[in-house]
Structure formats: C-alpha cells, structure tokens
Structure 1
Amino acid sequence: MRKHTLTALFCLVAGASACIVSCKKENAPAKSTNEAGVSQTTLDQISALGFSTAEVRKVDGGYLVEGDILLSENDLTTKVNSPFLRTAKEEQYRTNNLVTGLPRVITIKVSNLGTAFVAGTDTAIARYNRLGLTISFRRITSGTANITISGFNQGPSGGFITLGSSGFPTSSGNPYNSIQMNTNAAAYGSNPNVLYVGSVIQHEIGHCIGFRHTDYFNRALSCGGTATNEGSAGVGAILIPGTPSGLSANSWMLSCSNGGNRTFNANDITALNYLY
C-alpha cells in the first residue's frame, strides 16, 4: 500500500510552479522500458498476469508491483486460471491462489517493531475475526508464525511512499508468509497512529489471503493521476449476488491509502464471505 507524500499533495492542490516537474513525473504514462532495469520480458509477464507494469522494482525475492505486491520469479511463470469476482458491476476482486484447509487459524507474529505496530496488528486481527469467516487470525509471540510482520526503512520516491508490502498465497494453499512495514518517519510519523497502522496491516493481510487491489481496473480512484485499466488477463468473471449497482470507492483493498483509518466496506465483507 502506498500514500502520496506531502510534496505530491501540494502539487495536486496548489499547482505551484515549483512543483511542475515532480507533478509531471508522477502523472506521466508508463514507459515501455523500466527505469529500474527490469527487462521487457519480465514486464510482459507481469502484464500477462493482469498487473500494472508502471514503477515495477526488483527487490529481494522478486518484483514489487502496484506499490506493495511482491511477485516471485515463480509467480511470473504461473498460469492464472482463477476468476474475477465482480461487485458493483466492476472487477473489484480477483482471486489468485486462496488459503485452503478451512476452517483455519492463521498465526501472525510481529518481529522487532514498536508498540504501535503490535497494537495495529491486534486491531487488524480483531477486524477480521469479527466477521466470523472460516479463516481467523491469532497473534503469537514465540515460535514460527504463518505470517511474520517485520520492518524496512525506505523514504519517499516519485511523490509516493510505500507503507507496507506483502504477496499472495502459495499454490499449496498457505497464506503469504511475510508482511513488510515501513519504519521510515515519512510513512507513519515519529508517533504512529495505531488505527492507521492497523488499516495498512489489514490491507496487507488481504493480499496474503488472496485479494488484489480493488481499484486495479482504475487506480486513479485512490492514487490520482490518469485512469488505467489493466484488462482481464483472459480469465472469466463471477458476479457476486447481493452487491449494489453503484461503485464504492472506500474498500480496504484500494491501492493507495487515505492517510488514516480505513476498514471493510459492505462490498468487502460480501467478497470475504464469498471466499471464506
């Protein structure tokens, strides 16, 4: 998950001449070649999976796409046959692998992070567990967890800062085993707000159990800039019964943060209950 930095927000609101260069850079269309040195072959593989190829970065373990999703080399060569799940007549949810062996308790451990991240984890866990799904979550303090939350320190880049990152479930039905949370002061400040941190962890857990960004078809909904649609990647669609006809832009799985507390909306809960 990402958020605008203050500089980017000032550009969008004030339109000051001093910000023209950085604003243009933020809203420029994606180039056919990646400035971070990612090969065109890799970009094509990422695109074939239905992900944006804008600002793809090579990181330990694979490639970071859409700001916070880690795709491994193995992910890039995996054929996706899973369906879209439609809500509000838009392709808001797309399954990849899902967690199996249900009902199931997923354990989470916070490693070497401050009290706000521990409390934020408890907040995220409580929000999921209140839904009564066939998956539930429990924080542990020792032993090996299904998901470990740890930190990294990275400042803003290109008008955005990465708040956290994670990946998708394994082909064997286990949740992705790692969530990385940014400890840089530009991400959450020197005294992080627990509800804000918890909302980001809640979002990253969503990836770990198989949810994509709800605005992947139009990332301008949460990130600003030009609307883009990454297409269907050749897979089918399922309309979830009982969802409204109007688009809701307050999902917990939007690509970019609103800078504060954000939890499940009605469509999110419908989709979670449909899958779990």
Structure 2
Amino acid sequence: MKKNNLLAFALIGALSVSLFACTKKDAVETTNNNEISESTLAKISSLGFSTENARKVEGGYLVEGDILLTEANFASTAKGNNLNIAETEQYRTTNLVTNLPRVITVSVTNLPQVYSDAVDEMISRYNAQGLSLTFQRATTGTVGNIDVFGFNEGPSGGYITLGSAGFPTSSGQPFNQIKMNTNVNAYGTNPNLQYLASVLQHEVGHCIGFRHTDYMNRAYSCGGRRANEGASDVGAIRIPGTPSKADAESFMLACSNGGNRTFNANDLIALNYLY
C-alpha cells in the first residue's frame, strides 16, 4: 500500500499531508528496475501491472506499491479476463477464495502488540459484514492461513512500502502472507491502531482477490502522471454493481490517505457479490 506526501522529500517523516493505500510517496516518483531483467519486466507487463517502480523482493516482485507477484503468477495460464479500461470500479482477480463458507485463520509473528491489536480490528471489520468468508485469529503458536509478519525497510526512490500481499492461488486458497513495515518512517514511533488496521484491511483485500480500485489510473489516488496498464492476464474483472466513476473512499484505492479508511457502500457491494 502507498501513501502520498505532497511535500518535498526533505520534509518527510510527518504523516499528516497525504493522499491514499500501501506505500507512502514522499517525493517525485522514479523508476527503479535495475534489479529486474527485461524479460521479467515483460512478464509483469503481460500480467497487466505497471513496471514503474517494480522491484525484486524476497519471494518475487513488488509492483503497484504493495502487490507481490510470484513465479507462480508468471507461470499461470491467461484466462482472457481483461480490464475494462475506461472506468473506475472495484476489480477482482481471476482466482478467488473457494470452498465457501469458510473461516480464514490469521496469525501474527514477531510484531509489536499494536500490530496484533490492529489485526483483531481488521478481523472485526470483515466479520461485521456477514460474509460467507470470515476470519479468526489462529491458535497461539500456530501459523494461520494468512500470517502477518514484519520487515524493516526505509524510504527508497521517493516511496516507503507500508505493507504488501499477493493474490489467491489457482486452488482457491487466500494468499498466505502479509508483510508490514516496522520502519519508523512508515508509521512513526507510535503507530496508530486504526491506520494499521486500514492497511491490513487493504492487504487482506488483495489476499482474497481484490485489485486496486483505481487500477486503470493510479494517478487518481497517488498523484503523478496517468498510468493505464491495459489488459491483465492475472485478472482485472469488473465486479457488477460497482460504479463507473471515481470512488474517492474505497478501501482498495492504490495509495493511502494516511488515516482510517474502512469499507464504503461500493466496497460492501463488491464484498457481498464475491463472498
């Protein structure tokens, strides 16, 4: 997820001036593909993701600020589900969580208490919606279907990653990891519980199959130039009933506003349609 600070880079550290999702933008956006081969960049593009600021990370490649693409994504067969380019709605991936109704367990590994409390808040937000997909904390000492754990990474290229996750597997399992940044530049020295819960809520959205709401034009929430990635082999399928216009409060916008954001009315339409 990405947070956009319109101040100059020298003024970063304050989380108060912002735009919207799972990374934080503190300066002019730059492209850093030095660690990625041209063939891999072509694969990323063919999946329907922007290669701008894509980078190699543990387990795969981080794109769009907070989405982890793995080798399994590259190896999957295209299903012909492409983006409806001209609009801004909720989108899902081809793969969704299956075998409903079901309970998804969530564990927290080696993170401060506020992150654990934020996971509980995130779970409450989803479970309050009466979906066929519900969440609960994993039994103490066990790893859940989704494990939330930390990494420490400072700003790079004008951004700082707040959290990251991937998409459901072809076998209908949720993506099994959410990484949350413990660097002081991400959430400050005293992380806000509601803000952390909002980032976790967004990342769980990816784990169960949500793409970014402003997928076709990340400038809507992130600023900068318009970016439209076009067709998507991993799936960018419009969810029926969601609006064909900009949705400023969606929990799945690409960039964070630095505050508390939960489900809006259109998000609930999308959640209830899928689950």
TM-score range for the pair, normalised by the shorter chain length: 0.7 to 0.9
The answer to whether the 8 Å contact 1:4/1:223 transfers is: yes
Question: Quick one: distance in 1 between partners of 2:238 and 2:4?
Answer: 33
Deviation sequence 1:239-272 (CA, Å, 0-9, x none): 613x445421211111111001011111111111
Map of 2:125 onto structure 1: 127
The answer to whether the 8 Å contact 2:81/2:232 transfers is: no
Question: Quick one: distance in 2 between partners of 1:256 and 1:50?
Answer: 18
Q: Are 1:146 and 2:172 counterparts?
A: no
Deviation sequence 1:192-212 (CA, Å, 0-9, x none): 000000000001101111111
SS class of match (1:109): strand
Question: Quick one: distance in 1 between partners of 2:245 and 2:224?
Answer: 22
Question: Quick one: distance in 2 between partners of 1:139 and 1:186?
Answer: 28
Shift of residue 236 of structure 1? 8.5
Shift of residue 113 of structure 1? 0.7
Map of 2:4 onto structure 1: 4
CA RMSD of aligned residues (A): 2.5
Shift of residue 85 of structure 1? 8.3
Map of 1:158 onto structure 2: 157
SS class of match (1:211): coil
Shift of residue 49 of structure 1? 0.9
Letter in 1 for 2:64: E
Question: Quick one: distance in 2 between partners of 1:85 and 1:127?
Answer: 28
Alignment of 1:114-263 (within 5 A): 114-140=112-138, 141-233=140-232, 238=238, 240-241=240-241, 243-263=242-262
Shift of residue 10 of structure 1? 5.7
Question: Quick one: distance in 2 between partners of 1:49 and 1:8?
Answer: 32
Shift of residue 238 of structure 1? 5.0
Shift of residue 80 of structure 1? 3.1
Letter in 2 for 1:43: L
The answer to whether the 8 Å contact 2:111/2:150 transfers is: yes
Question: Quick one: distance in 1 between partners of 2:105 and 2:248?
Answer: 30
Return the structure number with greater relative CO, CA threshold 8 A, min gap 6.
2
Map of 2:90 onto structure 1: 92
Map of 1:45 onto structure 2: 43
TM-score by length of 2: 0.86
SS class of match (2:255): coil
Shift of residue 171 of structure 1? 1.1
Deviation sequence 1:130-161 (CA, Å, 0-9, x none): 11111000012332310110000000112221
Question: Quick one: distance in 2 between partners of 1:3 and 1:168?
Answer: 21
Question: Quick one: distance in 1 between partners of 2:246 and 2:273?
Answer: 18
The answer to whether the 8 Å contact 2:126/2:134 transfers is: yes
Map of 1:106 onto structure 2: 104
Letter in 1 for 2:240: I
Question: Quick one: distance in 2 between partners of 1:164 and 1:80?
Answer: 27
Structure 1 window deviating more from structure 2 (35-44 vs 103-112): it is 35-44
Structure 1 pair 100/195, CA: closer, same or farther in 2 (3 Å)?
same
The answer to whether the 8 Å contact 1:151/1:183 transfers is: yes
Map of 1:78 onto structure 2: 76
The answer to whether the 8 Å contact 1:7/1:159 transfers is: no
TM-score by length of 1: 0.86
Question: Quick one: distance in 2 between partners of 1:237 and 1:208?
Answer: 16
Letter in 2 for 1:263: T
For structure 2, the residue ranges without an aligned partner over 5 or more in a row are 18-25
**Aligned length in residues:** 260
The answer to whether the 8 Å contact 1:80/1:96 transfers is: no
Letter in 2 for 1:52: S
The answer to whether the 8 Å contact 2:148/2:177 transfers is: yes
Structure 1 pair 79/196, CA: closer, same or farther in 2 (3 Å)?
same
Structure 1 pair 76/236, CA: closer, same or farther in 2 (3 Å)?
closer
For structure 1, the residue ranges without an aligned partner over 5 or more in a row are 14-21
The answer to whether the 8 Å contact 1:124/1:199 transfers is: yes
Shift of residue 186 of structure 1? 0.5
Structure 1 pair 212/3, CA: closer, same or farther in 2 (3 Å)?
same
Shift of residue 117 of structure 1? 0.4
Map of 1:17 onto structure 2: none
